[in-house]
Amino acid sequence: MSSRSPKRQLGEAEGDGVSRAGEAVTSATAQNADESAFGGLVEQYRRELQVHCYRMVGSFEESEDLVQETFLRAWRKRETFQGRSTFRAWLYRIATNACLDFLDRHPRHPLPRETARVGDRGEAPPDEIRWLQPYPDRLLEPMAPDDIEPDAAAVSKETIELAFLVAIHHLPPRQRAVLILRDVLGWSAKESSAALGMSVASVKSALQRARPTLKMHLPQRREEWAASTPATAQERALLQRFMDAHEQADTAALAQLLSEDVRMTMPPLPFWFSGRQAVTDFAAHALGPDSPLYRAQWRSVPTRANRQPAVAGYVRVPGDREYRAQVLNVLRVEDGKIAEITAFEPRVFPAFDLPLTLSELPDIPVLDRRPGR
């Protein structure tokens, strides 16, 4: 990263990180509310707090639970809201500490990919973030009505993409919390110290240690993060070509879509593939005559995860009447090519409102894909 503040590099708005235009929740309102009314007060913050918890723990499923834990703690501690900060900042403080408590009880560390299969590029595989899960874009879109609101910063593309999630999960939990509060949400050192029960000096020191680690684990071309932009026609066309290649088991067509240094991972599995040849070799093996998926029929459903294009893959093997969920591929696109594929298990499909099976389609003859046929 350059010498500029990472907050600017990450595209966040400057100013008071914990303010919110129009927020009118007073201490009296919060303290005197009954359970139903209090639930209404906190519910408006659910989506951005879940994104915050997701950044902290890396798991969509656990972030759902931690938001519920945050609201329960807030209800029990409502007398402690004195109005010295905004209600939103008070909730973020509770959510952050709920996440830290969870991580204290369930410590997790990146693991070496000892059994990873890699290409012949001479690279050491990156450590495995085996708890990583994707985040559905459908839960991000209703947020951030404009770039001034704090919740716009909370879900900006550059700090919700999988590459950023992987990078910050190489940080110890408290360093991660400091970096998120300071550089993602734009909180001051004083605000962050109050939220975390740390001294201002400790917050500054933690941030100084966190930033180089973040830089070390970000993709090289992402040291400077681009502003969030909608999917382009080029990206949509690339996604369609990826789906076509997948459905037709056309590894030559797939290879044309990949960057030379493309990488593929499959959390929580320890596999890692580096380079165009390694990824296409894996695809050929997975769909070849010795694979249980050989002669299977594939159907693809486009979706989005972490502000990135994604494809849900369904497979129907001979004799089966339905297409069954097989994989969710999340793509990172750079310069018109696929730079990274992160493949997730079908257990994440429900979070995307994706069915685990697709209804029977007309019986289409399966082409013989063996060479020369």
Given a cut of 80, whether residue 18 has pLDDT beyond it is no
- pLDDT score, position 30: 84
What would the pLDDT profile of 313-345 be if each residue is shown by its tens digit?
A: 999 988 888 999 999 999 999 999 999 999 999
- pLDDT score, position 370: 34
Angle at alpha carbon of residue 166, lines to 310 and 176, rounded to 5° = 135
**Cα 179 to Cα 285: distance, rounded to the nearest angstrom:** 41
- CATH 3.10.450.50, the chain: domain bounds: 233-358
What would the pLDDT profile of 87-126 be if each residue is shown by its tens digit?
A: 999 999 999 999 999 999 988 766 555 444 545 444 555 6
- CATH 1.10.1740.10, the chain: domain bounds: 22-217
What would the pLDDT profile of 155-176 be if each residue is shown by its tens digit?
A: 566 789 999 999 999 999 999 9
Given a cut of 50, whether residue 311 has pLDDT beyond it is yes
At 47, the pLDDT band (50, 70, 90 cuts) reads very high
What would the pLDDT profile of 257-302 be if each residue is shown by its tens digit?
A: 999 999 999 988 888 899 999 999 999 888 777 777 777 889 999 9
What would the pLDDT profile of 31-46 be if each residue is shown by its tens digit?
A: 888 899 999 999 999 9
Find all residues with CB under 8 Å of 325, minimum gap 6, and list them. Answer: 312, 313, 314, 346, 349, 354, 355, 356, 357
CATH number for 233-358 (one of 1.20.140.10, 1.10.760.10, 2.60.40.1930, 3.10.450.50): it is 3.10.450.50
Closest CA to 177 of 27, 319, 57: 57
Q: State the CATH class of domain 22-217.
A: mainly alpha
Closest CA to 248 of 216, 283, 207, 211: 283
Structure pTM?
Answer: 0.84
- At residue 111, what are phi and psi to the nearest 5 degrees? -110, 145
**Residue 108, Cβ neighbours under 10 Å: how many?**
14
User: What is the torsional sign of CA 228, 231, 233, 236?
Assistant: positive
- pLDDT score, position 43: 94
